[in-house]
Amino acid sequence: MSIVLPPNKVIYNLGPLARIPQGEGRTFQVEEAAIAIFHTRSGKVFAVQATCPHKNGPLADGIVGDDKVVCPLHSYKFDLVSGEALGSTCDALKTYTVTVNEQGDLLLTVN
């Protein structure tokens, strides 16, 4: 089976999802972008920019729950689905498409 990608889209295999415990996040460097991948306690996987737009806090070190992440520096909260800031006027996070293949590897799609 082949995958047809729109122009300018690339899929990166980031390795096994098992490297990220449930309820935690990890940062991956993909080309020039630092991207935080989150593996929620419910088993969902999300990908967003790695730093908080407020003061560049490391989001992968934040608290993850209910499809949201809380920045470890100043407790800014973000929706992992939309990237929107919750309860603040902070800029939204850039979000990325991430899936898990049949082998359990994370596949990140980047424009």
C-alpha triplet 56, 18, 53: angle, nearest 5°? 10
Can you give the pLDDT at residue 99? 97
Where in the chain are the domains?
A: 21-110
The second-level CATH assignment, the architecture, of 21-110 is 3-layer Sandwich (2.102)
Per DSSP bridges, beta strands 85-86 and 10-16 are unpaired
pLDDT of 2 strictly over 50: no
Of the pLDDT bands very low, low, confident and very high (cuts 50, 70, 90), residue 3 is: low
pLDDT above 90 coverage of the chain, percent: 88
In tens, the pLDDT along 9-55 reads 899 999 999 999 999 999 999 989 999 999 999 999 999 999 999 99
In tens, the pLDDT along 78-96 reads 999 999 999 989 999 999 9
Looking from the CA of 20 toward its CB, the CA atoms found within 13 Å total 28
Q: How far apart are CA 3 and CA 35, in angstroms?
A: 23
Can you give the pLDDT at residue 8? 81
Can you give the pLDDT at residue 5? 58
pTM of the model: 0.91
